[in-house]
Structure 1
Amino acid sequence: MTSFVLVPGAWLGGWAWDGVARVLRDAGHEVYPVTLSGVDAGQREHVDDIVRVVEENDLRDVVLVGHSYAGVPVGQAAGRIGERLRRVVYVDSNIPTDGKSFVDGWSAEGQAWLREQMERSGGYWPPLEAEDYVDQDLCEEHIALILSRGTPHPGRAITEPAELVRPIGELPTTYLKCLMDGAMPSAVVLEQLTSPQWELAELNTGHWPMFSQPEALAKILAEV
């Protein structure tokens, strides 16, 4: 039995993992979906959210799973839980770089667009619109669910720098690339994949596989 700690990306809560969690629990695993702190939370609070779930439940043999934005706090939390960690799984996600934030790798145009969005929303990163989910292997029901339950993401969490207590390349890691969201991982991920501790997996679906392919995603998680 493995303890899976599942952390969703921006705008989502622990509810996003319902389909995956059901499959993993049916296979006998313990599953802990995480809803990260909102409102004015920063990067530190999100890392603490994840570590707290592990420590307060005294979890061992832990697989930390981070989707999209959540790869950044998950990678930091993985270094803090020490021998409790079994593996990190990044699901089509960003990964942390010490001293850099979630948006530091964005283009100048992308960062300007984000600043404008945050200024208009009072410091939050607003949820995506329906058209942003097109061609990502999502049915209308899934898109409607995401739009109805998604919430603004705290701006500080994506602009504060990561603080690594251990290099992520030293940790046993699987990076899962969702091919409908681009055939190749980012340059920073490819660099980490040169580590003997890292492996690459692929899934032919869009950026939100917990909705589009929950059974296939759960199978990959169980196998790692």
Structure 2
Amino acid sequence: MPQFPRALLCLCFVVFASAFARADHHDANQKNTYVIVHGATAGAYEWKETGRYLEQAGHTVYRVTLTALGERSHLSAVGVNLTTHINDVVNTIRFEDLHDVILTGHSYGGRVITGVINEIPERIKHVMYFDASVPQNGESSWSHRPPPADLLVKDGRRIPSWLNENPTTYPHNVGHPFGTSVEPVTYDNPAAFELNVTYVPFIATGTDPDERAARDRNWQNAVARGWTVRTFPGSHTAMLENPQDLAVLMQAAVNDTNTPTP
């Protein structure tokens, strides 16, 4: 067997180690494209600071405002349904020609991104649900609970009892398109089932995570699907309370992988 000079062996080892270190460094500093979907009555403005921290880290961020909400609240809500909002996101991804997207949804936005991954799973790299709805195929917002007794609908918008209909400052919440509550979501694409997903419940001070998990249907659906669960401290709008740390979590969670389920 031929003998290689010690110096040549050392040189080969150094070159290999250097190449491995560069590859590892590249993975650690991989830049991603995030598409962020907000919750009901809100707008993309709620994710402005979190998006800013992601951009400062070198990532590309698209904050989609859904039709008739946020800065698009001047548009009529009549006839707007879940499909409208799914198309808002799908068309952003298609018209911007985005691939390997890190798709995230907050609250009601979980229903929207469920429809998005069902339609264009080939464009998605990873999915994140933030304190969000995790619906089953064919479920609407009211599949497991009746509409609130004080339900008020005006001009195609559902007006929550807490909402100030005459705000004087911007940005502000607005009535949510009623049609999104009654349309069931479609989640039946096998390719969507294969995507790696991270579910992140926001845990308010004084809340027992185990107790929350035991009663939270969304959390239970996530676990049943083998998704990674990461908790984050804060209220339902934790992204407004601690946007920087949430941005850190969003960068770390892109490498989460699903746990195989029976």
Q: TM-score, normalised by structure 1?
A: 0.83
Larger deviation, residues 82-91 vs 176-185: 176-185
Query: 2:199 matched to which residue of 1?
Result: 175
1:169 Cα deviation from its structure 2 partner:
4.4
**Which deviations, in whole Å up to 9, do the C-alpha atoms of 1:192-216 show, x marking residues without a partner?**
31334x1000011110122011011
Which residue type is aligned with residue 171 of structure 1?
L
Is contact 2:50–2:239 with CA below 8 Å preserved after alignment? yes
Aligned residue for 1:219?
A: 248
2:90 aligns to what?
Answer: 51
Aligned-pair identity in percent equals: 27
Instruction: Find the counterpart in structure 2 of residue 159 from structure 1.
Output: 182
Q: CA deviation at 1:165?
A: 4.1
Paired residue secondary structure (2:174): coil
How far 1:16 moved relative to its partner?
1.1
Residue aligning to 1:73: 112
Match of 1:203 among 226, 232, 235: 232
CA distance in 2, matches of 1:62, 1:97: 22
Q: Note if 1:25 corresponds to 2:55.
A: yes
What residue in structure 1 maps to residue 45 of structure 2?
15
Deviations 1:80-105 (A, max 9, x none): 22222111100001112211112212
Deviations, residues 20-48 of structure 1 (Å, cap 9, x unaligned): 01000000000000100121210111111
Stretches of structure 1 that go unaligned for 5 or more consecutive residues are: 131-143
CA shift at 1:7, angstroms?
A: 0.5
- How far the C-alpha of 1:79 sits from its partner, in A, is 2.2
Aligned-partner residue type, residue 159 of structure 2: P
Q: C-alpha separation between the residues in 2 aligned to 1:26 and 1:112? A: 42
Q: TM-score, normalised by structure 2?
A: 0.71
The whole-number CA distance in structure 2 between the counterparts of 1:65 and 1:100 is 20
Separation (CA, whole Å) in 2 of partners of 1:16 and 1:203: 17
* Distance 1:128-1:86 versus aligned 2 partners, 3 A rule: farther
1:60 partner SS: coil
Answer whether contact 1:66 1:91 (CA < 8 A) is retained. yes
1:117 positional shift: 2.2
| Greater alpha carbon shift after TM alignment, 186-195 vs 27-36 | 186-195
Identify which of structures 1 and 2 has the higher relative contact order when contacts are C-alpha pairs closer than 8 Å and 6+ apart.
1
- Measured against aligned partners, the alpha-carbon deviations of 1:135-186 in whole angstroms (never above 9, x if no partner) come to xxxxxxxxx978x511110000111111124256432100001111853242
Q: Distance in 2 between matches of 1:127 and 1:118?
A: 7
SS of 1:193 mapped into structure 2: helix
Q: Which residue of 2 aligns with 1:149?
A: 172
Whether the aligned pair in 2 keeps the contact of 1:96 and 1:162 (CA below 8 Å) is: yes
Task: Give the whole-Å Cα distance in 2 for the aligned partners of 1:25 and 1:195.
Answer: 31
1:122, CA displacement in angstroms?
Answer: 4.3
Q: Give the helix-richer structure, 1 or 2.
A: 1
User: Where do 4+ consecutive residues of structure 1 move more than 2 Å?
Assistant: 116-119, 127-130, 167-171, 181-185
SS in structure 2 of the partner of residue 83 of structure 1: helix
Q: Kindly report the root-mean-square deviation, in angstroms, between the aligned alpha carbons of the 2 structures.
A: 2.3
